[in-house]
Chains A and B, each alone.
Chain A
Amino acid sequence: AQTVTQSQPEMSVQEAETVTLSCTYDTSENNYYLFWYKQPPSRQMILVIRQEAYKQQNATENRFSVNFQKAAKSFSLKISDSQLGDTAMYFCALGAGANNLFFGTGTRLTVIP
Chain B
Amino acid sequence: NAGVTQTPKFRVLKTGQSMTLLCAQDMNHEYMYWYRQDPGMGLRLIHYSVGEGTTAKGEVPDGYNVSRLKKQNFLLGLESAAPSQTSVYFCASSYMWSTDTQYFGPGTRLTVL
Residues of chain A having any CB pair with chain B under 8 Å: 4, 31-33, 35, 37, 42-47, 50, 91, 95-96, 98-101, 103-106
Contact = CB atoms under 8 A, between A and B. Distances in A.
Given A99-B50, A101-B45, A106-B42, A44 B101 contact: no
Residues of B in contact with A, size category: 20 to 34
Interface string B70-108: 000000000000000000101010000111111110110
Contact of B43 (A31, A42, A44, A103): A103
Given A43-B88, A100-B98, A105-B40, 14 more contacts: A31-B99, A32-B99, A45-B92, A50-B101, A95-B99, A95-B100, A96-B99, A99-B31, A99-B48, A99-B56, A101-B43, A101-B98, A103-B42, A106-B42
A101 B94 CA distance: 11
Interface of B: 31, 33, 40-45, 48, 50, 56, 58-59, 88, 90, 92, 97-104, 106-107
